[in-house]
Amino acid sequence: MPSRVRSQGHRVTLGLRLLATALAALLASPSLAGIAGPPAPPEARPEIPLLRHSREAEIRARVERILASMTVEQKVGQLLFVGFGGTEVDEGGPIERLVKGKQVGGVALFSRNIESLTQIAHFTRQIAALLPTIPPFIAVDQEGGNVVRLSEPVAAPPSNMALGAARSVELTRRAAQVQARDLWLLGFNMNLAPVLDVNSNPANPVIGIRSFGEDPALVGAHGAAYVRGLQSGGVSAVAKHFPGHGDTESDSHYDLPALPHDKTRLLAVELAPFREAIRKGGLDAVMTAHIALPAVEGRPRVPATVSRKVLTGLLREELGFKGIILTDGLEMKGIVDAYGSGTAAVKAIQAGADMVLILWTREKKEEVHQALLSAVRDGRISMARLDESVRRILTVKMRRGLFDRRPPPVEEALAVISNSSAGPAIAREIAERGLTLVRSREGLTPIDRRTHRRVVVLSADRTFDREMGRRFPESVRIRTPAVPSRARRARDLERTREAAKDADVLVVGVVNSYQARMVGQLVRTLRTPIVVVNMGSPYLIRAFPGVAGYLCTYSYRPASATAAARFLAGEIPAPGRLPVTLPGMYPLGHSAWVDPRASHGGGGGGGATSRRP
């Protein structure tokens, strides 16, 4: 009798498992989600705890079997994350010799590797075919905004700061999920994103609109949502730049920045978004920054990348991170000047890093590879330490499905991307919901075409110029280069002054400090009201503090330029709120937009506000 009961119980348990698996597959179906793409990885499915525990046990067992079968050379190869020139794999050529010869753990592709969607889809599949036993990470740097390697129709958010201004965590998650679908179909299984730097320093030269904002809670919530969205689509997220590059005034590509703050401040601000992404996002990987943390490290000029106190003590032990630690590029001046690439690679692994990023020169890749092999052979990197890293790398690859799933044939994948409206639609939604009206004196914006018939538009952006022309066909439009020469700037200024002296309003699109300085000169010399549409850093208003109207898109992507023109024409609202403080002018959370329905009892709107998010 007991034997029969056990048999029945086994059948019931098996039936429940099959039912749970079927339901999970159905719920994860791309057709139900409205997004074609990869099968959802197991941790994105609604599993019962017993099944999830069983899945993790299976992963651990598979990882240990693979690890036990690997040679030292194969294990060291897994630590290498490399880049190279070229757009296809030639048999016996330099890419095959590097990737297959060293059996690398990961590959990062950039604009130099991309000619078209068809080409890159074939290229990623060629790279994957070089390493069929242990698949490589194939990564792209597709943050969105001003850091994109793949253009439309591939999905990418207008910018993280636009998402921060939109104040919708769910929108951020959906944007990342759509992005993951496109990346996976193209053959990528890792994205070097999101940026989790808290942009608390207006003078920061390298982060800016790449950040979700200056509020650690805002950055953490959106960062965790981005991680969940990306990884639910089978693409590993890489949060960067740990321990935080947002309060620096130099760029680690060229120098060694330092964060002088004490540990209490670091935990409350710089580290808070990483902690949130680890705890609530299930983050796969973190990229280190070559930044000194003297309050943690105890020494003033030691980059976080090679600090055991930072990587192991802070990131692993205090923040509880169990995923992959990937260094930033080991050819950057912030680290190579102090150590050299090979020594830096060894020190990074000793400190707790798992993979080292080496992207540009063949000589540096060889230097790093030989340095790591030598360190393992002479015991400076123990076998136990090497196995720790390889185990983490294999575990993430297993969880993300690299051993079990392959993207569809190229033609099928490209058809899904080109026939889908999901990417452009999500970019448009972000652009419109993030649009922030910072200033509008005397109700200048939207532009009332009954009272402002003579409109002059000065812009370097082709899309903005075109969309303004469609909505204001009688306007005078002047195109200027993004970075004009001094002579060209003088000519454009004179032409603009002449056209605008009898105009009702002058609209100027700006992206960078060159254009911002032009606006400053126009504000000082013209009586005509000026509306600035800022498609770059919101802090640029410091160059023209007296401007009458100020609209921020946080992006020069086409969706953002179109949204700005639509708002100025009165077609859409500007519901976004500042995700940063504009010092001495406007606080975090400010908006000058007034919903016209609010004054007529329509509800749902609001007035000008400076509420915190």
What is the C-alpha to C-alpha distance for residues 38 and 125, in angstroms, rounded to an integer?
15
Q: Which of 253, 387, 504, 595 is the catalytic position?
A: 253
Sorted by where each begins, the domain ranges of the chain are 31-82+153-420, 435-600
- Long-range own/partner contacts, residues 166-172 (CB < 8 A, 24 or more apart): 166/430, 166/433, 166/434, 166/575, 166/576, 167/218, 167/576, 167/577, 167/613, 168/433, 169/221, 169/222, 169/225, 170/225, 171/426, 171/429, 171/430, 171/433, 172/222, 172/225, 172/226, 172/229
At residue 178, does pLDDT exceed 60?
yes
Exposed, middle or buried by CB within 10 Å (0-12, 13-18, 19+), for 219?
buried
DSSP for residue 143: -
Fold observed for domain 435-600: Rossmann fold (3.40.50)
Q: What is the pLDDT of residue 145?
A: 85
Q: Which of 141, 197, 247, 328 is the catalytic position?
A: 328
Q: What is the pLDDT of residue 258?
A: 84
User: pLDDT tier at 251 (50, 70, 90 boundaries)?
Assistant: low
Digit-coded pLDDT (tens) for 33-85 = 334 455 444 344 444 555 666 788 999 999 999 999 999 999 999 999 999 99
Q: What is the pLDDT of residue 25?
A: 39
What is the C-alpha to C-alpha distance for residues 339 and 337, in angstroms, rounded to an integer?
6
Calculate mean pLDDT across residues 269-289. 96
At residue 9, does pLDDT exceed 90?
no
Q: What is the pLDDT of residue 483?
A: 76
At residue 4, does pLDDT exceed 90?
no
Calculate mean pLDDT across residues 151-168. 92
Q: Answer for the pair 472, 457: CB distance below 8 angstroms, yes or no.
A: yes
Q: What percent of the chain has pLDDT over 70?
A: 87
Q: Which of 364, 362, 330 is nearest to 348 (CA)?
A: 330
CATH of segment(s) 31-82+153-420: 3.20.20.300
559 vs 337: which has the higher pLDDT: 559
Q: What is the pLDDT of residue 255?
A: 65
Q: Answer for the pair 96, 104: CB distance below 8 angstroms, yes or no.
A: no
User: pLDDT tier at 450 (50, 70, 90 boundaries)?
Assistant: confident
At residue 248, does pLDDT exceed 90?
no
What is the C-alpha to C-alpha distance for residues 344 and 358, in angstroms, rounded to an integer?
11
Two structure tokens written together for 515: 């254009």
CA-angle at 330, arms to 328 and 336, nearest 5°: 125
What is the C-alpha to C-alpha distance for residues 166 and 460, in angstroms, rounded to an integer?
25
Q: What is the pLDDT of residue 338?
A: 84
Calculate mean pLDDT across residues 571-597. 93
Q: Answer for the pair 258, 224: CB distance below 8 angstroms, yes or no.
A: no
Is there a catalytic annotation at residue 215?
Answer: no
Q: Which residues have C-beta within 8 Å of that of residue 272, sequence separation ≥ 6?
A: 198, 216, 217, 219, 220
What is the C-alpha to C-alpha distance for residues 138 and 402, in angstroms, rounded to an integer?
10
User: 15-24, 335-344, 444-453, 515-524: lowest mean pLDDT where?
Assistant: 15-24
User: 396-400, 474-478, 604-608: lowest mean pLDDT where?
Assistant: 604-608
Q: What is the pLDDT of residue 603?
A: 33
As a whole number, the mean pLDDT across the chain is 88
Enumerate the β-bridge partners of residue 240.
Answer: 195
Two structure tokens written together for 337: 């000047």
What is the C-alpha to C-alpha distance for residues 554 and 209, in angstroms, rounded to an integer?
6
At residue 11, does pLDDT exceed 50?
no
Q: Which residues have C-beta within 8 Å of that of residue 480, sequence separation ≥ 6?
A: 458, 459, 460, 488, 489, 492, 515, 518
User: pLDDT tier at 252 (50, 70, 90 boundaries)?
Assistant: low
Q: Which residues have C-beta within 8 Å of that of residue 241, sequence separation ≥ 6?
A: 195, 197, 252, 287, 288, 289, 291, 328
Q: At what angle do helices 169-186 and 216-232 cross, to 10 degrees?
A: 40
What is the C-alpha to C-alpha distance for residues 422 and 424, in angstroms, rounded to an integer?
6
Beta strands 549-552 and 530-534 are: parallel
What is the C-alpha to C-alpha distance for residues 327 and 306, in angstroms, rounded to an integer?
9
Q: What is the pLDDT of residue 352?
A: 98
At residue 602, does pLDDT exceed 60?
no
User: pLDDT tier at 19 (50, 70, 90 boundaries)?
Assistant: very low
Calculate mean pLDDT across residues 339-347. 95
Digit-coded pLDDT (tens) for 200-235 = 998 887 789 999 999 999 999 999 999 999 999 999
Q: What is the pLDDT of residue 32?
A: 31
User: pLDDT tier at 254 (50, 70, 90 boundaries)?
Assistant: low
Is there a catalytic annotation at residue 197?
Answer: no
Question: HSE (CB half, 13 Å, CA atoms) of 451?
Answer: 8
